[in-house]
């Protein structure tokens, strides 16, 4: 039965509307996507999640488990690899694919939290010739980053639902000290899309979000605007974005200010050139977690996220007024054993149910390893 999260509920009520649903959200089931003793599975939010009817693809990291206290529990001295999990039945069962095996997507430079995979030849990034068709029915695009000071990012695209990829292509620096791009973009037409990129602050530290646009399928790029002011302390990173029916752009970001961690929402009424703070849909994210913002079939907005505090949880908040106000948090699961969880991505199936992917520990698994899981849930009805 759906429960409300007790942590920070009073704070969230300050931002809540008279939000009522005739049918409240409910959880169908949790499914383990990838678990392996002694290994680490992590961070769908860093890679992406795509859906074509009953076919669903999600990216994740595979490394080696190591208890590192308050840090991510991945052994940084051993190889980390990028993998895909694919479902052909709406998220019930999964198979796994290693894009490096056919030379498509492989680590570049130092891996995100580890080292290069031994034996792989790293291809150089090149300039994209443009002409990428964002409207292709089997299209997917993903970003990668090397997560170091002065970092650079690259991207790949696919016309066969992520089986084969073209790239790696260079992402410009946009006049910043470095980029740390994850997969977040909005398609406007065949060759026209707006992307939301985490970049370094002026002092080189992590980080802030900018909006950029291409109108020729990624041959040329234009910086549109800064999503909110540059934080003097802490960061605003890892955006997740949607476009409303009237053209309004909304972007949720992961925020940090010393020990306080939350998620903010920004709005642009001029195609991404200027941005204004709206509110804090998630006022407490434990030690911090990125949001996944989705526009649902019925027009509501939903943000899913990991709560990296006790109880260690996967949660959601919802809005029925285009993000002006938000519900109190719904808990999708709260059976985690440690704070190293979350980094969610969510897609909506044709039947209206949501499938949320994340990494987790506990939840009935025998060991402390982090693994990839999905939760199938019904968002209810307004």
* Nearest to 69, CA basis, from 340, 350, 333: 340
Evaluate whether 258 touches 203 at the Cβ level (below 8 Å): no
Position 12 scores a pLDDT of 38
Q: What is the C-alpha separation between 33 and 50, in angstroms, rounded?
A: 15
Q: Which two tokens stand for residue 365?
A: 């698994």
Q: What is the C-alpha separation between 124 and 121, in angstroms, rounded?
A: 10
Position 109 scores a pLDDT of 39
Position 365 scores a pLDDT of 86
- Domain total of the chain: 1
Position 264 scores a pLDDT of 98
Which domain covers residue 286, as residue numbers?
3-378
Residue 87 maps to which CATH number?
2.120.10.10
Evaluate whether 156 touches 163 at the Cβ level (below 8 Å): no
Q: In the chain, which residues have pLDDT < 50?
A: 1-17, 107-120
Sign of CA dihedral 368, 373, 376, 377: positive
Position 97 scores a pLDDT of 94
Name the burial class of residue 80, with classes exposed (0-12), middle (13-18) and buried (19+) by CB atoms within 10 angstroms of its CB: buried
| Full-model pTM | 0.91
* Nearest to 289, CA basis, from 315, 324, 325: 315
Position 114 scores a pLDDT of 38
Position 367 scores a pLDDT of 85
Position 2 scores a pLDDT of 36
* Nearest to 123, CA basis, from 105, 141, 98: 105
């Amino acid at each position: 039965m759906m429960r409300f999260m007790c942590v920070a509920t009073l704070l969230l009520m300050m931002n809540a509307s008279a939000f009522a649903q005739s049918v409240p959200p409910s959880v169908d089931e949790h499914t383990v996507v990838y678990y392996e003793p002694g290994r680490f599975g992590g961070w769908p939010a860093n890679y992406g999640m795509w859906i074509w009817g009953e076919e669903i693809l999600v990216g994740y990291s595979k490394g080696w488990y190591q208890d590192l206290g308050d840090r991510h529990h991945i052994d940084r001295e051993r190889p980390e690899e990028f993998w895909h999990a694919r479902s052909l039945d709406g998220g019930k069962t999964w198979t796994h694919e290693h894009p490096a095996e056919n030379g498509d997507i492989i680590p570049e430079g130092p891996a995100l939290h580890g080292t290069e995979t031994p034996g792989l030849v790293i291809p150089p990034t090149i300039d994209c010739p443009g002409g990428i068709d964002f409207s292709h029915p089997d299209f997917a695009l993903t970003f990668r980053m090397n997560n170091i000071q002065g970092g650079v990012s690259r991207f790949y695209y696919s016309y066969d639902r992520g089986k084969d990829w073209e790239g790696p292509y260079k992402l410009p620096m946009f006049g910043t000290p470095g980029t740390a791009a994850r997969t977040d973009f909005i398609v406007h037409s065949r060759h026209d899309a707006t992307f939301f990129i985490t970049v370094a602050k002026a002092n080189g530290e992590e980080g802030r979000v900018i909006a950029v646009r291409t109108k020729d399928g990624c041959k040329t790029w234009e910086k549109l605007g800064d999503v909110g002011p540059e934080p003097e302390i802490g960061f605003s990173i890892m955006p997740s974005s949607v476009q409303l029916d009237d053209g309004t752009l909304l972007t949720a970001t992961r925020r940090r200010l010393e020990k306080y961690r939350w998620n903010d929402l920004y709005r642009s009424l001029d195609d991404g050139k200027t941005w204004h703070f709206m509110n804090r849909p998630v006022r407490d994210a434990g030690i911090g977690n990125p949001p996944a913002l989705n526009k649902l079939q019925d027009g509501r907005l939903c943000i899913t996220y990991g709560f990296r505090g006790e109880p260690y949880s996967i949660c959601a908040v919802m809005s029925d007024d285009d993000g002006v106000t938000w519900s109190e948090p719904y808990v999708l699961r709260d059976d985690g054993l440690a704070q190293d969880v979350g980094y969610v991505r969510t897609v909506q199936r044709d039947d209206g149910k949501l499938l949320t992917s994340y990494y987790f520990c506990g939840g009935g698994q025998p060991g402390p390893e982090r693994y990839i899981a999905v939760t199938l849930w019904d968002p209810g009805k307004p």
